Structure 1
């Protein structure tokens, strides 16, 4: 269900950005607006980003094999990071440089009504995609504050599209103001400043997405409630005298690896320990469908403390 939702959001953004990009380029060449050209570049980058996310989703769906025993889920996080680099390296830098050139050599915007028409339609279409992405994100965050929900999310596709569309809407409004103010005050340089502002918006968006995706890419643990539930299941199982360590890691949005170090009762036989391990693994996977593999190590409290003591 989560993957289906992600693809729906990405396809909606892809269709909207591709159509808007063509329209913006036509308007930019017709009117000579730097802000409109920045917006056209922004839409092309967003279109490419959606294609990258779809490719990442496809790659991450591959099952485990000999070279990737935990599957390919981390590839989704890699391509999300590439998207952040694309937003900064292509969208933000080009928009900033293009605006800087327009500030140095300002030229009046011609046929500004074309810009108003295209930007107005852009706000309408981007707004529709933004609402679609927002609804999907709200279902995922379940009432939690936005930033906390983003930090807790292990599926970056929905919030990446949402933040891209937020940046797109802010960029459209900025471009509209740039064109309007440059006409109202007969100051073409303001159109260049609007392009620079769009570059700054994209740069901040890229920095935030890069920070979040690198955290996922370098290995995040499961959510706190999942970790606590796993510990509770293991600790409550008859035959377990104590829990030494419990470690989890996401190898994809729906692929969690669990490693437990347990201290078993001294009177248990080997076959009985094996039975306890099997029951714990079965209960964990039944309670949390995102758990893919469970590794359980039998180790005494003393051995665990010695293993964690500094050399």
Structure 2
């Protein structure tokens, strides 16, 4: 659902930004307003960003290869990070440069004075439609989280990126309307420069927030606390596992979670019994957290003395993963681990 919702929000934002960019640029050519030029470049950058997000989503669907055995799910994070860079440079820094240029050489809007106001009002309406779509699609996955927490904790980067871009675009349009309006009222072009500078600062801040949040995803984040608790319950909710010795989780992509755990198991009569137990645990994990698609479970015999020494397991193990794998009994999972649904 998150992927489909993210694509719908991206397309809505892309169509809105293409239309807005064209009208803003025409208004700039007619009036020479720096705010209109900054907003034109902003919309062009946003349109390119939506294209990058769509490209990242498509490339992330490629099948795993020997060189990339865990697939390409993180490409969505990479392209979201590129979006932050584009927004910072092409959007924010260009607007600040244009503001400095206009402040140094201020001039009013002498012709087509009604055009920028009409364009900005129309742009606010189109951007508002895009923002509304992003909010609607985000609510499907946001749950009871606040908007700040949703943006910070969402694993699928597309919706937070579109939300921040649309929010920034709406606020930027208000800044541009303020700068243009004050320039028309006073005849002083420095109001236009001030509006442009406000747009630049806003875009730089949004780009930094996006970069920081996407960087965390690129570094690798573990499961959310509720998912982690559900996995722990699934592992221990049966006679196959006495305790979890240690466990780590990692998002391989927005909708694919890896689970790796060393588990304390009771002594088994055969590798076949151990394999059946491991398969049952894997099935419970996938039922509890469906995005847990890559699971590695290492069975061991838990020892209190070894745990105090820092190893968490006895010196000898009842059955090793290699021995269990060698058992001819069919298994849907595997002692060492299993990839797939």
TM-score past 0.5 threshold: yes
> Which whole-Å CA distance do the structure 2 matches of 1:13 and 1:268 have between them?
60
Equivalent residue for 2:74? 74
Equivalent residue for 1:88? 88
Equivalent residue for 1:177? 178
Shift of 1:267: 4.8
Shift of 1:240: 1.3
Equivalent residue for 2:57? 57
Corresponding residue SS for 1:69: coil
Summarize deviations over 1:223-266 as a string: whole Å, max 9, x none: 11111111111112203121111211111111101101101113
Shift of 1:150: 1.9
Q: After the TM superposition, which residues 265-276 of structure 1 pair with which residues of structure 2 at under 5 Å, given as runs?
A: 265-267=266-268, 269-276=270-277
Summarize deviations over 1:129-170 as a string: whole Å, max 9, x none: 101101111221112111112222111101110110000000
Q: After the TM superposition, which residues 37-186 of structure 1 pair with which residues of structure 2 at under 5 Å, given as runs?
A: 37-110=37-110, 111-186=112-187
> Which whole-Å CA distance do the structure 2 matches of 1:23 and 1:123 have between them?
12
Q: After the TM superposition, which residues 229-248 of structure 1 pair with which residues of structure 2 at under 5 Å, given as runs?
A: 229-248=230-249
Shift of 1:108: 1.0
Equivalent residue for 1:208? 209
Equivalent residue for 1:12? 12
Corresponding residue SS for 1:23: helix
Indicate if the aligned counterparts of 2:38 and 2:95 stay in contact, CA closer than 8 A.
yes
Aligned residues: 308
Corresponding residue SS for 1:18: helix
Equivalent residue for 1:299? 300
Summarize deviations over 1:69-106 as a string: whole Å, max 9, x none: 11100000000000001000110000000011000110
Corresponding residue SS for 1:251: strand
> Which whole-Å CA distance do the structure 2 matches of 1:286 and 1:140 have between them?
19
Equivalent residue for 1:36? 36
Higher-RCO chain (CA-CA 8 Å, sequence separation at least 6): 1
Indicate if the aligned counterparts of 1:46 and 1:87 stay in contact, CA closer than 8 A.
yes
Which of structure 1's runs of 4+ aligned residues deviate more than 2 A?
A: 266-271, 299-308
Indicate if the aligned counterparts of 2:235 and 2:281 stay in contact, CA closer than 8 A.
yes
Equivalent residue for 2:280? 279
Shift of 1:125: 0.3
Q: Unaligned 5+ residue runs, structure 1?
A: none
**Higher mean C-alpha displacement, 148-157 vs 43-52:** 148-157
Equivalent residue for 1:255? 256
* 1:255/1:91 CA distance change after superposition, 3 Å: same
Indicate if the aligned counterparts of 2:266 and 2:301 stay in contact, CA closer than 8 A.
no
Shift of 1:284: 1.1
Indicate if the aligned counterparts of 2:109 and 2:187 stay in contact, CA closer than 8 A.
no
Corresponding residue SS for 1:4: helix
Summarize deviations over 1:248-297 as a string: whole Å, max 9, x none: 11111111011011011135533222111111111211222211110001
Summarize deviations over 1:38-65 as a string: whole Å, max 9, x none: 0000000000000000000001111222
- Normalising by structure 2, we get a TM-score of 0.87
Corresponding residue SS for 1:249: strand
Indicate if the aligned counterparts of 2:96 and 2:201 stay in contact, CA closer than 8 A.
yes
